[in-house]
Structure 1
Amino acid sequence: MATTNIWQQFKALIPEGVRVIATITANNGNGTSQAELRDGSVITVKGESVSVGLKAFIQDGEIRGIAPALAHYEVEV
């Protein structure tokens, strides 16, 4: 049965978990990869579907796909 609670319907539209973009620095050969975040920290994530040097979407510690290599700007308001 579908819920009539508007808040619950809104929450269902938003994917759960944290999604970040990272640069893949190594495929480890055991189903994991090394990824460098924007702040310079390196994490180990599940998956080897993205080649070294490319950017990837990381969600809940797993590679979800290739991310576009766009410029990043930070503006303080």
Structure 2
Amino acid sequence: MATINIWQQFKALLPESIRVIATIAANNGNGTSQATLRDGSVITVKGESISAGQMAFIQDGEIKGTAPSLAQYEVEV
């Protein structure tokens, strides 16, 4: 049965989890890798498909693929 609640329809369009871009610092050899986020924090993620030094998409604590190395700009408003 389709819902007529507009809010529920809108929420259905949004992804359930977030995707972040991180630099892979090291592959641990046990199916996990160390990833450095843009704010400098280091997390452990599942997967070793990306080599150290490359950018990766991380979703739900798992490497999803290679991210492009693009310039990053910071703008103060």
Place the TM-score, normalised by the shorter chain, in its bin: 0.7 to 0.9
After superposition, the CA RMSD in angstroms is: 1.3
> Structure 1 stretches of 5 or more lacking a match?
none
Aligned to 2:62: 62
CA–CA distance in structure 1, aligned partners of residues 69 and 19 of structure 2: 16
Long gaps (5+) in structure 2? none
Which residue does the alignment assign to 1:34? 34
Looking at structure 1, the residues matched to 50 and 4 of structure 2 have their Cα atoms a distance apart, in angstroms, of 40
> Structure 1 length as normaliser, TM-score?
0.86
TM-score by length of 2: 0.86
Residue-pair matches, total: 77
